[in-house]
Amino acid sequence: MDLPRSFTIRESSHRILNPFTPEKLATLGAAIGLRPGATVLDLCCGKGELLCTWSRDHGIAGTGVDISTVFLAAARERAAELGVGERVRFTHGDASTYVAGEPVDVAACVGATWIGGGTAGTVALLERSLRPGGTMLIGEVFWRAEPPSQEAVEACHATSRDDFGTLPGLFEVFDGLGYDVVEMVLADEDSWDRYYAAQWRNLRTWLDANPDDELAPELRAELSREPMRYVRFRRHLLGWGVFALMKR
């Protein structure tokens, strides 16, 4: 059970595996009022930057779950680097079935709501680990503008317009599930750039070093295609943010 190599190549230089900058991640941690000793569960934690930096900055303890052995190795190295290895731990496993052994103060899925089959299913999954009165964090994509064509939809990694909602539509979903939105931090075009443009350099660096690898033709085609699709469509059509929710 692991991610395909293409994922780890594409995001090899990234610490944050979504369109957030370190500054936005820090803003989110401060905005939700983290306290020393608070417990955090992060499903699909990637390289663990959320848990590691919040443990360093706020004294939280936490668990991260991810399917990628490469990402988890990087997360453990980061925890050791920041001196928080005794407060955060990382588990290799299927986040779609993971439930914390004890209820946590903050339950998060930041940018991987496919593990619950969408926003509502992921909220239901996180509820199983969240203490009463705790804070849930959902990272989700949304349309900033109406896609003009099917080509635009597919360039945004969707199959149809209905795959993503709008920002008001997301708030309606949260409201219908019985949650108040109590904070949010949204990506902007610069943070999208830092996420996607860094992938192009990672791909090019890898291709230069591995021209005969079996993945080289696929990743060469991706590097030739994706930058233009990003600047033509994705950069101005897609929004992304992390929403802090509390049950009514």
Enclosing domain of residue 132: 5-147+158-188+239-247
The reply to whether 13 falls in a domain is yes
Q: In what order do the strands lie in the sheet with 130-143?
A: 88-92, 61-66, 39-43, 104-110, 130-143, 238-247, 179-186
The reply to whether 204 falls in a domain is no
Terminal Cα-to-Cα distance of the chain (whole angstroms): 37
Mean pLDDT on 11-37: 97
Mean pLDDT on 118-133: 98
The reply to whether 221 falls in a domain is no
**CATH code at 105?**
3.40.50.150
**Percent above pLDDT 70 for the chain:** 100
- Number of domains into which the chain is organized: 1
Mean of the per-residue pLDDT values for the chain?
97
Question: If you search the block for the tokens 């897609």, which residue do you land on?
Answer: 238
What are the distances in angstroms from CA 73 to CA 6, 69, 157?
17, 6, 28
pLDDT score at 97: 96
pLDDT score at 1: 79
Q: Which amino acid is at 19?
A: P
User: Cα(218)–Cα(8) distance, rounded to whole angstroms?
Assistant: 14
66-109, pLDDT tens digit by residue? 999 999 999 999 999 999 999 999 999 999 999 999 999 999 99
pLDDT score at 122: 98
The reply to whether 27 falls in a domain is yes
Nearest-CA neighbor of 99 among 125, 134, 64, 135? Answer: 125
pLDDT score at 123: 98
The reply to whether 170 falls in a domain is yes
Report residue 171's pLDDT band, with 50, 70 and 90 as the boundaries.
Answer: very high
User: Cα(210)–Cα(204) distance, rounded to whole angstroms?
Assistant: 10
Report residue 126's pLDDT band, with 50, 70 and 90 as the boundaries.
Answer: very high
Here the tokens at position 214 are 């079996």
Strands 238-247, 179-186: pairing is antiparallel
The reply to whether 196 falls in a domain is no
